[in-house]
Amino acid sequence: MDLKKSKRLILLLAVIYWVFAIGIYTLGYNQFRYSKGMSDAPGTTYVVGEIVDGMELSQTVKAPSNVLNAVEIFAGTFDRTNTGSLTLTLENSAGQIAGQKTVSLSEIKNNQYTCFAFDEEIALSKGETLVLRLTTEGCSAGNAITIYAGGVLQGENAPGAYALNGESTTGTLCVRLSGYSERAFYQIYWIAVVGAFLILAAYVVWCFRQARRGKSNMVVSLCTVYSRYTFLIKQLVSRDFKTKYKRSALGMAWSFVNPLLTMTVQYVVFSTLFKSDIPNYPVYLLTGIVFFSFFNEALTLGMTSITGNAALIKKVYMPKYIYPVSRVLSSLINFAFALMPLFLVVIFTGTPFQPAMLLLIFDIVCLLAFVTGMTLLLTTAMTFFQDTQFLWSVVSMMWQYVTPVFYPESIIPAKFLPIYRLNPMYQFITFARTCIIDGVSPGPSAYLRCILTAGIVLLLGVGVFRKQQNKFVLYV
């Protein structure tokens, strides 16, 4: 192990760590500090009738967060432009006005939710009971809107039922309160970052001390590969990349063309089914295709890295995990090319470029670690059980169908969502879509899930591979 090169590698990793820590905090500040809250609303079932002057709709609601900033109303305009105004009033349990907003009826959208922001944010306690009142001014029959209601309750005066001029009904108005609560996470972010860095630094120091005693460990192995086998890894990656496009007329252009062709076919097939439910469906679809294709390609190529290099393994000694890692890195190059058409589609669809897109680097690094760990596991299994490649073709197909690549998450029954979201590829693809389509950083839990998923699988893959690698020569 070249000590000078090793120290350079450790310093580089430390710099990358702090760049990520500062970048994530800067780009994700709002999502780290605040969590959005929105109250539930029933499905639209019927209309309450025209709301004319002298009528009042009232309903008990609960604050979904500590701060309220808007109310969304599902209204109908009867396909006409109505004059007059609508006043929304929120009263607390003491009967005091907590917030009020008057809007022109010309701003109301027909048969959909219309959002009305308060001029000043309303500070409350999350879960606090409020009374929502709706009244109009300048409205008469034939020149008024209506509010949708649904969610028939059990009996009159049931909690949550709306009242018309003080007379209780058995339905619930289709209104949603939205706001935000302040997270405690942002207050401990730097404590967690500094604490994790100190733990990692202490571990690295311990590993170097162990190396001086002649004991090998993960950090020492990484430094050894970096100092001795960097050139070899480059050659293996170059060989794998060139072999894939050998005798191909388009060559590397297939990395660019293939995701576009796949997206075109799937867009034509699925757009009529899901387009209405998914905003910006082309970007949504291509993001899923590109990320899942990298995952599938890396594992498919990587699992045969030991058996495919049997002759070289028997003749020349080198760390065996170089072979699967080189396959993953060659697939990473294809992935980088595939990101180009993704961003072309982003431009074509008019999706704005936001600073949050830079957070894709974090997502890709976590995905790379996860894919590497999975590749090491499958490579080990493939070396001992040749049927692994055939089983994987079936598993990968099933994995794609349980990942929201081309369909919306909303089609999954609510009771299965907690299990459904355990899918690692769901985490990585959803993270990417949040950055690209929504243009914001995911919440802290998304980062934690990505880090834990990638870290656990990578450590498991490295551990299993290292334990079994000395037996490989007996089976290849």
pLDDT tens digits for range 96-117: 899 899 999 988 888 889 888 9
Residue 316 dihedral angles phi and psi, to the nearest 5° = -125, 135
Selection from 100, 102, 89 nearest residue 138 by Cα: 102
Residue 469: per-residue pLDDT: 85
DSSP helix/strand/coil, 119:
strand
Residue 271: per-residue pLDDT: 67
- CB contact at 8 A, 219 and 204: yes
Segment holding 21, helix H or strand E: helix 3-27
Residue 338: per-residue pLDDT: 83
Ranges 154-163, 385-394, 443-452, most confident: 443-452
For residue 474, pLDDT beyond 60: yes
pLDDT tens digits for range 223-232: 777 777 777 7
Residue 434: per-residue pLDDT: 94
Residue 72 dihedral angles phi and psi, to the nearest 5° = -110, 135
Ranges 90-94, 210-214, 371-375, most confident: 371-375
* Confidence band, pLDDT 50/70/90 cuts, at residue 234: confident
* Confidence band, pLDDT 50/70/90 cuts, at residue 156: very low
Mean predicted lDDT score pLDDT of the chain: 86
Question: Tokens representing 344?
Answer: 């072309």
For residue 276, pLDDT beyond 60: no
Ranges 12-21, 40-49, 215-224, 408-417, most confident: 12-21
Ranges 35-49, 272-286, 305-319, 388-402, most confident: 388-402
Residue 252: per-residue pLDDT: 64
Q: What is each CA distance from 438 to 69, 342, 364, in whole angstroms? A: 20, 15, 18
For residue 398, pLDDT beyond 90: yes
For residue 83, pLDDT beyond 60: yes
Pairing label, strands 175-182, 34-38: antiparallel
Give pTM, 2 decimals.
0.82
Residue 2: per-residue pLDDT: 62
Percent with pLDDT over 70 in the chain: 92
State the average pLDDT over residues 51-71. 91
For residue 158, pLDDT beyond 70: no
* Confidence band, pLDDT 50/70/90 cuts, at residue 154: very low
Selection from 394, 398, 399 nearest residue 425 by Cα: 399
- CB contact at 8 A, 188 and 33: no
Lowest-confidence pick of 249-258, 322-331, 466-475: 249-258
Q: What is each CA distance from 460 to 273, 380, 396, 455, in whole angstroms? A: 39, 12, 20, 8
Q: What is the CB-side half-sphere exposure of residue 393 using CA atoms within 13 A?
A: 4
Number of residues that this document lists for the chain: 476
Torsional sign, CA 272, 335, 466, 239: positive
For residue 160, pLDDT beyond 50: yes
Percent with pLDDT over 90 in the chain: 38
* Confidence band, pLDDT 50/70/90 cuts, at residue 1: low
Q: CA-to-CA distance for 234 and 219, rounded, in angstroms? A: 21
For residue 374, pLDDT beyond 70: yes
How is 179-217 classified by DSSP, letter by letter? EEEE-SHHHHHHHHHHHHHHHHHHHHHHHHHHHHTT---
Question: Tokens representing 274?
Answer: 């899901």
State the average pLDDT over residues 62-74. 91
